[in-house]
Amino acid sequence: MPAGQYGHVLRPSRYAERVNDDRAAIHAVLDEALVCHVGLVVAGRPHVIPTLHVRVRDSLYIHGSTAARLLVSARPAPLPLCVTVSLLDGLVLARSAFHHSLNYRSVVIHGDARLVDTVEEKTQVLAALVDRVGVGRSQQCRPPTSRELAATAVLALSLDDESTDVALKRRTGPPSDDEADLTLDYWTGVVPVRLTAGTPQPACDIPLPGGLAPSLT
């Protein structure tokens, strides 16, 4: 699992310069993963916070508990963030220890986040966040009150801003052993992995509506 084994690495580049296929691949990763990891610098030290995110058009939005406390301190200046979204796709078992690896897709975004401060944008983003756990879920629950909206901090990272860098990386496919190892008698191949939903655990006695978490089905 050392340096250099990745089957396909796309170099960081401006989001705006990317061709459509590439943007679609970036969106697919952002839209499938439920959790991102937000990196920020506090008093010179790195902090990494896991939190839910949502992409709306060409912006990535985050909000959240611990995140909020650290992140809100950014106001009014934009806050330098690194948001990493990664999906584990498989365990890659090579004939050599050295070429063991993971299949994955990841998007790393470097940019300056702004605090969302209009009720309209905040309302739209919070509905989109709720819809991440199920298609149309924001219409199947009580909407936020203005007090709840005021209590919630939302940050936006524009993907197509001049100062934003977006890097897509992935490894796919079978192990890539050295020629000399190909005759060794060890099992080799890929074990695919994915996040799956279990049986819902209701806390009520009405039936579960359909359309939950599309990336889990």
What lies within 8 Å, CB to CB, of 43 at 6+ separation is none
Q: Is 102 in the site for a second copy (CB under 8 A)?
A: yes
**Binding residues for a second copy, total number by CB under 8 A:** 98
Nearer to a second copy, 2 or 76 (CB): 2
User: How far apart are the C-alpha atoms of 22 and 99, rounded to whole Å?
Assistant: 27
- Smallest distance from the beta carbon of 20 to a second copy, in angstroms? 25
Query: Would residue 197 be called left, alpha or beta, if left means φ above 0 and alpha means ψ between -120 and 50 degrees?
Result: beta
CB contact at 8 A, 154 and 122: yes
Helix (H) or strand (E) holding 54: strand 45-56
- Smallest distance from the beta carbon of 100 to a second copy, in angstroms? 5
Nearer to a second copy, 51 or 59 (CB): 51
CA 91: distance to chain centroid?
20
- Binding a second copy (rule: CB under 8 A), the pick from 73, 117, 186, 214 is 186
Under DSSP, the state recorded for 174 is S
CA 70: distance to chain centroid?
19
Q: Is 1 in the site for a second copy (CB under 8 A)?
A: yes
25-84 residues near a second copy, rule: CB under 8 A:
34-35, 37-41, 44-50, 52, 63-66, 68-69, 80-84
Q: Is 4 in the site for a second copy (CB under 8 A)?
A: yes
Q: Is 94 in the site for a second copy (CB under 8 A)?
A: yes
Q: Is 141 in the site for a second copy (CB under 8 A)?
A: yes
